[in-house]
Amino acid sequence: MRPVCTTYFVVRLELDRQSLRRCASPPTAGWRLDGRWASPFKPPLESISARDVGSIGAIARSHVLPHRAAVRPEPTLGLLLAALIAATASAQPTVTVRAESRLELDVRRDADELVVSGALRDDLGVPLAGDDVSLELSRAVASAHERGRHVLTRVITAGTDGTFSTRFTIEPGDYVVDAAYEGAPEHVGTRATRFFDLDRAHVTLRLSLDGGTRIDLGDLEQELTIVASSESGGAELAMIVASESGGAELAHGVTDASGTLHVTLTSAQLGPPAAGRIIVRTHGDATRAEAQSELPVIRFRATHTTLTISRSVLGSGDSIEASGSLTDGVAPLEREAIGIVTGDRVLTTVLTDEHGEFHATLDDTAFRDLEEGPVALVARFDGSAPWIPGSESAARTLALQRPIALGWIWALVSIAIAALIVRWSLRAQTGTAIRPRRSDGAPGVALGARRTIVAQRFDISGLVRDTISGEPIAGASVSVGDVLLRTDVNGTFALSVQREATSLRVEHAEYLAVETALTLPHRGEHEGMQFRLASRRAVSFAALRQVAADLAPEGEVALALTQREIFEMLRTRGASPPALPDLVARVEVACYAVAPPDDGEISGIQQSAAAIGAHPSGRARVAGGAAGRR
């Protein structure tokens, strides 16, 4: 598709999910330029995995802006386009991601009727419930590939599980059935065609793989079994096994006396890791009609994660370099999230580069809550798609060394001195008294203690902490009227304000803002205040975890640490409402995107979570789960 410029000069990337996985050489023919430059970069959430989000960013940064010169506007718009491109050289593109869709179609005869059934799903196998499929029934005149007069058209809606079915009453003869899905903003359209001859016996093909529908491409060969049956038997029918890409023939053969054919396929024939289909068809013979069947499969390669650390002993004030790689045994996996963990604790998360390598620096603060002694570090990849499974590296041992503790006498002396200093400070009624406290888990503000009877104080001070970890937040913005300052490395601030100030607001890009009213002058309650800020990413993930808690037992929910694990756990239990994949995709982007979610995105996630709870299927699951827990 050639770039098209309009008077709005919007630049949009429109890519499917398979294109996103080829970040090293994205298909420039798939770019469509049809409007304004947009910023900031915020990809849509529908059916995007965390890996897709990283791929989008890589494409946008390394390919989109350098290819602006490829746009060829009309001569009359040349100067205007050049000016707009120059003015927006630093802008980011808007990205639209459309997932692939798959249309499964089956045609069979039932007495004098033609039964057309099938299923509409995306490339991950998620049903596209409520979407329309157009069916067209035509008469084949000279051959199975030549269309005759139009007979019937019908539009049918896919059910909650993505399936559909309808019946046509027709005369004997050759027919062709066309099914078309026009697509949606989140999905690409697709078509499927089946031929049927009512004058010949209907042939049914059953397909199976010895190892199941998950194909490990590390195995050299796959054994496919085809069983044909009809009113005239299934023996001596010629079969063709074809790929989903262009219909290229992979193998062929003839069924035996029982109607069975065994075919050996090499993994190299089946294509790269992805969701796909194995297609088997027969042209039939004089008494048996043409038939085709498809077997949905997941092609995958096992991933391999490695980890090395720069030192084996970590003392106070030291740091270590952790590095490694991620591959699928054939090629490196880029833009994938790797967690450096010890036990169930995630120390940090990094992304692999274009060579599948990752690097992270960990200082002693990452291990502050761990006891002295050896700990096992592991690089963990949780997998980003059904065809990209997770893996763990071999454990690396790191010895933690703590400073030698003071004797008990010196400890008592230090405590006594500190107590005297605090008491003297309170009596002097001056300065700031900020006492570090662990977070109680709820965001908000805790005022200081009143120290005087008369309201005569104008000094304000406080400590800003993370709600969950209790860690101080450096660089938070504190505003009182027209006075603005930021917290120091210890998360503290102090200032003196004028009488007309009525409120204080604390903000940080990664956290939800907190605001409290001021009464000036005060009696000490606005000194030593404690501010607890909730992480935007944590709030987004909490909405998904609450949905999971309503749909599954608490023990299983506690073991699911990531969005994908929660989704797979619920789907395995059959507790996956139609709106759940969308919510999982939204939360993935909120947790892993470079920029934290804004207020509108958090509100959308919470509304989606509430809608799942309010849906009839969701309420039924909640009721059933509650009854089970009682």
Give the DSSP per-residue string, 182-230: --BTTB--EEEEEEEETTSB--EEEEEETT-SEEETTSSEEEEEEEEE-
CA angle 175, 160, 558 (to 5 degrees): 140
330: DSSP letter: S
Asked if 544 and 429 sit in the same domain, the reply is no
Domain assignment present for 517? yes
Strands 529-533, 444-446: parallel, antiparallel or unpaired by DSSP?
A: antiparallel
Asked if 466 and 559 sit in the same domain, the reply is no
Q: Phi-psi category of 130—alpha, beta or left, where left has phi over 0 and alpha has psi -120 to 50?
A: left
Quick check: 429 pLDDT over 70? no
Instruction: Write the pLDDT tens digit of every residue in 594-624.
Output: 889 998 998 988 888 888 876 655 444 444 4
The reported pLDDT for the residue numbered 141 is 61
The reported pLDDT for the residue numbered 629 is 38
CA distance 245 to 235: 29
CA distance 309 to 621: 46
State the CATH number of the domain containing residue 353. Answer: 2.60.40.10
556 contact partners, CB below 8 Å, separation of at least 6: 569, 573
The reported pLDDT for the residue numbered 620 is 44
Quick check: 4 pLDDT over 80? no
Instruction: Write the pLDDT tens digit of every residue in 43-54.
Output: 333 334 433 443
CA distance 580 to 567: 8
Reference 427, options 436, 419, 435; nearest CA is 419
Residue range 141-160: average pLDDT?
A: 69
322 contact partners, CB below 8 Å, separation of at least 6: 307, 308, 309, 310, 340, 359, 360, 361, 362, 377, 379
Asked if 129 and 258 sit in the same domain, the reply is yes
pLDDT tier, 563 (very low <50, low <70, confident <90, very high otherwise): confident
64: DSSP letter: I
pLDDT tier, 111 (very low <50, low <70, confident <90, very high otherwise): confident
Domain assignment present for 493? yes
Q: 């027709």: which residue's tokens?
A: 170
127: DSSP letter: B
The reported pLDDT for the residue numbered 358 is 94
Domain assignment present for 4? no
Domain boundary among 299, 329, 356: 299
Asked if 490 and 551 sit in the same domain, the reply is no
Domain boundary among 79, 98, 117: 98
Phi/psi at 72 (5° precision): -125, 90
- Comparing 293-302, 308-317, 401-410, the range with the smallest average pLDDT is 401-410
pTM: 0.45
Asked if 412 and 394 sit in the same domain, the reply is no
CA within 13 Å, CB half, 18: 15
Asked if 282 and 188 sit in the same domain, the reply is yes
Q: 């059953």: which residue's tokens?
A: 206
Domain boundary among 400, 433, 456: 400
Asked if 105 and 51 sit in the same domain, the reply is no
- Comparing 102-116, 175-189, 474-488, the range with the smallest average pLDDT is 102-116
CB neighbours (10 Å) of residue 36? 16
Domain assignment present for 320? yes
The reported pLDDT for the residue numbered 417 is 79
Quick check: 185 pLDDT over 90? no
Quick check: 42 pLDDT over 60? no
Domain assignment present for 274? yes
Domain span at 571 = 536-629
The reported pLDDT for the residue numbered 175 is 80
Distances (CA, A) of 31 to 69, 96, 156: 13, 10, 32
> Alpha helix (H) ranges present in 386-524?
408-428
Domain assignment present for 623? yes
Residue range 572-592: average pLDDT?
A: 81
Asked if 193 and 315 sit in the same domain, the reply is no
Quick check: 559 pLDDT over 70? no
CB neighbours (10 Å) of residue 131? 17
Residue range 12-28: average pLDDT?
A: 40
Four-CA torsion 148, 154, 157, 158, nearest 10 degrees: -30
Asked if 171 and 293 sit in the same domain, the reply is yes
pLDDT tier, 37 (very low <50, low <70, confident <90, very high otherwise): very low
CA distance 280 to 283: 11
CA distance 234 to 288: 9
Domain assignment present for 240? yes
pLDDT tier, 73 (very low <50, low <70, confident <90, very high otherwise): very low
Four-CA torsion 328, 330, 332, 337, nearest 10 degrees: -10
Domain assignment present for 581? yes
Residue range 131-135: average pLDDT?
A: 92
- Under 8 Å between Cβ of 164 and 117: yes
Quick check: 630 pLDDT over 80? no
Residue range 403-427: average pLDDT?
A: 63
The reported pLDDT for the residue numbered 291 is 87
Give me the number of domains the chain comprises.
5
The reported pLDDT for the residue numbered 492 is 93
- Under 8 Å between Cβ of 504 and 483: no
Asked if 108 and 240 sit in the same domain, the reply is yes
Instruction: Write the pLDDT tens digit of every residue in 481-537.
Output: 888 899 999 999 988 876 667 788 999 999 999 998 888 777 778 888 899 999 999
Quick check: 66 pLDDT over 60? no
Instruction: Write the pLDDT tens digit of every residue in 251-305.
Output: 999 999 999 999 999 888 888 898 888 999 998 898 888 888 888 888 899 999 9
Six-digit token pair at 110? 């039932």
The reported pLDDT for the residue numbered 551 is 77
Q: Phi-psi category of 622—alpha, beta or left, where left has phi over 0 and alpha has psi -120 to 50?
A: alpha
- Under 8 Å between Cβ of 235 and 265: no
Asked if 245 and 141 sit in the same domain, the reply is yes
Asked if 424 and 374 sit in the same domain, the reply is no
403 or 392, greater pLDDT? 392
Provide the mean pLDDT of the chain: 75
The reported pLDDT for the residue numbered 441 is 56
